[in-house]
Amino acid sequence: MLEIKDIEKLAELARLEIPDGEKETLLEEADSILGFVGEIQKLTPPEPAKETRIIRNVFREDKEPHLSGEYTEALLAEVPETEDGYIRVKKIL
């Protein structure tokens, strides 16, 4: 159960100024939120499902990889400017 001093400490840590009139409202809202979180924690299983611990490779293997540079000339032919086998772009600073 939270108290006004807890709200004041949280406000200090968050560097917030809370008027005295709003502290009581925040106290009620915080208690409500913490009660809701407590209900959610009751529903959460204590231990993750076993299948979440399995590490597996989700990437497919390349069955027929292409040779490096096989498509370089065709790709460079499609760009507006090239220089020494690279795509030339504007300098951005």
CATH code of residue 24: 1.10.20
Question: How does the average pLDDT of the chain come out, rounded?
Answer: 85
Sign of the C-alpha dihedral, residues 41, 45, 46, 52? negative
Q: What pLDDT was estimated at residue 65?
A: 78
Number of domain units in the chain:
1
Residue 20, pLDDT above cutoff 70: yes
Residues 27-71 pLDDT 10s:
889 888 988 988 888 886 767 666 666 677 778 787 887 888 888
Percent of the chain with pLDDT over 70: 90
- Asked if the model's pLDDT at residue 88 lies above 90, the reply is yes
Query: What token pair was written down for 89?
Result: 């772009």
Domain that holds residue 16: 4-43
Question: What's residue 59's pLDDT?
Answer: 84
Question: Is 22 a domain residue?
Answer: yes
- Residue 17 confidence (pLDDT): 92
Q: Is residue 14 part of a domain?
A: yes
Name which of 86, 89, 66 is nearest 76 in CA terms: 86
Determine contact, residues 23/7, Cβ cutoff 8 Å.
Answer: yes
| DSSP element (H, E) containing 24 | helix 20-43
Q: Hey, which residues does 79 pair with through a beta bridge?
A: none
Structural domain includes residue 66 = no
Q: Identify whether 82 is part of a domain.
A: no
Average pLDDT of the segment spanning 78-85: 92
Q: Is residue 62 part of a domain?
A: no
DSSP-assigned letters across all residues of 56-91: ---SPP-SSPPPTTTTHHHHHTTSS-EETTEE----
